[in-house]
Amino acid sequence: LQTFNRDSQSENKSPVSAPSRLQQWPVQMKLVPTNAGYFDGAKILVAADCCAYAYGNFHEEFIKDHITLVGCAMLDGVDYSEKLAEIIRNNDIKSVTVTRMQVPCCGGIEQAVKKALQESGKFIPWQVVTISSDGRIVDRT
């Protein structure tokens, strides 16, 4: 458990809310069809559930210009590698970005993507971005 002391007085408060950058629905990996037309030519974001809550600029920095798939390997109780491999194998995917939290259980989402890329037989650029529980990017690989 952690608590973060946020200074609400010094935060940038804009009278206009930030626009959603989400390009498709559904986003939950369990619900996304593997043959959806929006995968053609797509850059995919595979995001651990908690990332969008921890990182304040998540829509602008990660969701924008990506097809977004979210899940939690631990809570969903599913190995997403097979479904992700099918998406990559059967569609023209341009790149894959993984966002995960800096906690051990988030390793499952990263491993699922790594396995899916290997099983797909395709060589696609991919990266992993790790976010701390207090909302900082701590690693990009």
What's the pLDDT at 77? 87
What's the pLDDT at 40? 95
For residue 71, how many C-alpha atoms fall within 13 Å in the half-sphere facing its CB?
27
What's the pLDDT at 1? 58
What's the pLDDT at 74? 87
Q: Whole-number mean pLDDT of the chain?
A: 91
What's the predicted TM-score (pTM) here?
A: 0.89
- Has residue 73 got a pLDDT over 90? no
What's the pLDDT at 18? 84
pLDDT tens digits for range 5-33: 666 655 565 656 888 999 999 999 999 99
Contacts from 135-139 at CB under 8 Å and sequence distance 24+?
A: 135/4, 135/54, 135/55, 135/56, 137/55, 138/102, 139/102
Give the rounded distance of the alpha carbon of 62 from its chain centre.
8
